[in-house]
A and B are shown apart, each in its own frame.
Chain A
């Protein structure tokens, strides 16, 4: 039940052909098995996937379908039980813990549903935080943090603490923090899950803009309108990819996908 349609076939705009040298992420038959007692849960059950530079992907699926597990594997927070995962052409399955930490620091930006800002630090300090674990000096750190905060539209909120910020602003700070190291890929696990629809729209517009600026983005969501900001929608079910289609903002296409999903589920 592997469905891997090529993107180029269905979109009219020029999409980068999946080439090995251009791919940011390459998964080959990745499995993640949890052992709970004697039971084995296949959270990821053989996922093969290729993401190219400047792609904008939404991952959808029912709760428990393995979206978060996939994101954790992509974000090098978790190791696949088996299979191959190449990040920027490097095989992560053979990396040491320290090398994975470094990969997380330099290549991956992670945005969480519940923001995960440190309450006692200002927005600026929160954004600077990942750079502490890199090789940058104090001055570069400050400069880059200010720069990226301005990019997400929070130039006037730098000294604020998280409890002095609205939900949307908090998520912007979190996005700035994810971007500050200049990651190859931005991973967001339900970034709008804790936000109302209007604020969500604002956040999604920010993602759109980042994408236009050349950022590769993967967003997990179960909301249609959020997913439709992306260019490509991956549907997951029981740890497998069940559909991988280009998204389109016109309604017809959306219903087509919905039908597709219903077809898969029935």
Chain B
């Protein structure tokens, strides 16, 4: 029993002694150690920075989706990648409003849906003030709920506006400001192009958006969906839907696909001419892309770690031959092979860990740098804890792998020969 308890204790002591010795060695040869571990430093720094950027982007997208709502589903036309419609003009596969009539009855997992159109950019004017390049969108009332954009003044668009094709609109606060409208501008009229619309509501300021919202400068105006067809005869239609809960979003997508294939007369076996994406789905796509980026980065980092590892092996071999007499002495006073092996292996690992530490440090610097580049969506970049673990795991493995050969060489030295060295 005592022996059983003692064995790991002896090893533990050997371990901490070795770590202590190794740190001493690293400290004694500071410049050499840093130069040796340069490969590992660069590898770890770049991999942590890449992971940080990806995690930051993902976190950013997640917060975006939270503002949209995680059960949102986007439906849009898409050319299939096979079949006769492969090269069809986009116009021919556009959505028509009637494709979606009665969708709620056939799709039990879908809570609501709203059609919308992008009418284009218009010049909007009120009295002598006018603002160019305002994006005009036609929306159904349900879109308000799905996009969860609150109306801070007045009321949202209603079903009656829709049915009667009223010339009413909702504007955003930026436009309200730019047109020098009164604080309470409800009921006032503005000109969109050459058509008069009455303002019924003012939206809350739009949160920053990763998608489609890159153009923060231009304002938006929302009019009823059907009214938008009065502005232009033919319009692109897109649809936002909402599943009853995020958990059933996959079912909802399947139901919508099934329903649309019928309303769009797609024969069995033919590919879809539309796509149905849920937020969850988008995240999966992002993760897929992130994985590819990560693998490419991983490959590059792998090479730099390999180069770093060869450097480590080289320096450890130098260390072994420099300290041949020391090894001989240690053996002469009773160090077993395993003790010498452990010492040199740990030295290699410690060297690599030092490289890893510097690497994570530089990675953090890089991350801070990336996060402060303006106008790219990486300001939430951070190094997740698992990435630090990964960095140390990798550099440790490199140490063990490339330190093994020199350590074995040291352990195999004959004490008498070693003491006679030089």
A180's closest neighbor in chain B, by CB? B333
**Residue B14 interfacial (CB < 8 Å):** yes
A contact residues around B416 at 8 Å (CB):
72, 77-78
Selected from B17, B325, B332, B337, the residue in CB contact (under 8 A) with A104 is B332
What is the bound-complex CA distance between A104 and B329, given in angstroms?
Answer: 11
**Residue B187 interfacial (CB < 8 Å):** no
**Residue B330 interfacial (CB < 8 Å):** yes
What is the bound-complex CA distance between A202 and B342, given in angstroms?
Answer: 39
Contact: B333 with A105, CB < 8 Å?
yes
Contact: A133 with B335, CB < 8 Å?
yes
Contact: B336 with A98, CB < 8 Å?
yes
Contact: A132 with B332, CB < 8 Å?
no
Selected from B10, B13, B24, B334, the residue in CB contact (under 8 A) with A130 is B334
A107's closest neighbor in chain B, by CB? B334
Give, as a whole number of angstroms, the nearest-CB distance from B330 to chain A: 7
| Chain A 80-123 near chain B by CB (<8 Å), digits 1 or 0 | 00000000000000000110011111100010100010101000
**Residue A61 interfacial (CB < 8 Å):** no
Contact: A116 with B334, CB < 8 Å?
no
Contact: A104 with B326, CB < 8 Å?
no
**Residue A181 interfacial (CB < 8 Å):** yes
Contact: A104 with B28, CB < 8 Å?
no
| Chain A 228-244 near chain B by CB (<8 Å), digits 1 or 0 | 00000000000000000
A contact residues around B363 at 8 Å (CB):
none
Interface size on A, residues (CB 8 A): 27
B contact residues around A75 at 8 Å (CB):
332
Contact: A110 with B326, CB < 8 Å?
no
What is the bound-complex CA distance between A104 and B6, given in angstroms?
Answer: 20
**Residue A33 interfacial (CB < 8 Å):** no
Contact residue range for chain B? 20 to 34
**Which of B328, B329, B335, B338 lies at the interface centre, i.e. has the most chain A CB atoms within 10 A of its CB?**
B329
A189's closest neighbor in chain B, by CB? B419
Give, as a whole number of angstroms, the nearest-CB distance from A266 to chain B: 33
What is the bound-complex CA distance between A133 and B336, given in angstroms?
Answer: 8
A contact residues around B415 at 8 Å (CB):
77
Selected from A72, A101, A120, A137, the residue in CB contact (under 8 A) with B28 is A120
Selected from B28, B329, B334, B419, the residue in CB contact (under 8 A) with A105 is B334
Contact: A102 with B325, CB < 8 Å?
no
Contact: A106 with B10, CB < 8 Å?
no
B328's closest neighbor in chain A, by CB? A116
A178's closest neighbor in chain B, by CB? B333
With contacts A78-B416, A132-B13 taken as known, whether A116 is within 8 angstroms of B325 at the C-beta atoms is: yes
Selected from A97, A98, A177, the residue in CB contact (under 8 A) with B333 is A177
What is the bound-complex CA distance between A14 and B211, given in angstroms?
Answer: 102
A109's closest neighbor in chain B, by CB? B333
Give, as a whole number of angstroms, the nearest-CB distance from A212 to chain B: 25
**Residue B339 interfacial (CB < 8 Å):** yes
**Residue B331 interfacial (CB < 8 Å):** yes
B contact residues around A103 at 8 Å (CB):
334
Give, as a whole number of angstroms, the nearest-CB distance from B72 to chain A: 63
What is the bound-complex CA distance between A46 and B416, given in angstroms?
Answer: 21
B331's closest neighbor in chain A, by CB? A101
B contact residues around A138 at 8 Å (CB):
13
Give, as a whole number of angstroms, the nearest-CB distance from B26 to chain A: 12
Give, as a whole number of angstroms, the nearest-CB distance from A134 to chain B: 7
Contact: B329 with A133, CB < 8 Å?
no
The 9 closest A-B pairs by CB, nearest first: A105-B334, A130-B333, A101-B336, A104-B334, A133-B334, A116-B329, A133-B335, A77-B415, A98-B336
Chain B interface (Cβ within 8 Å of chain A)? 6, 10, 13-14, 17, 24, 28, 325-326, 328-339, 415-416, 419
Q: A104-B331, A130-B333, A133-B333 are in contact. List 16 more A-B contacts (CB 8 A).
A: A98-B337, A101-B331, A101-B335, A101-B336, A101-B337, A102-B336, A103-B334, A105-B334, A116-B325, A116-B419, A133-B336, A133-B339, A135-B6, A135-B10, A137-B13, A177-B333
Could you pull out 8 A-B pairs where Cβ atoms are within 8 angstroms?
Answer: A75-B332, A98-B338, A101-B331, A104-B331, A104-B333, A132-B14, A133-B334, A133-B339
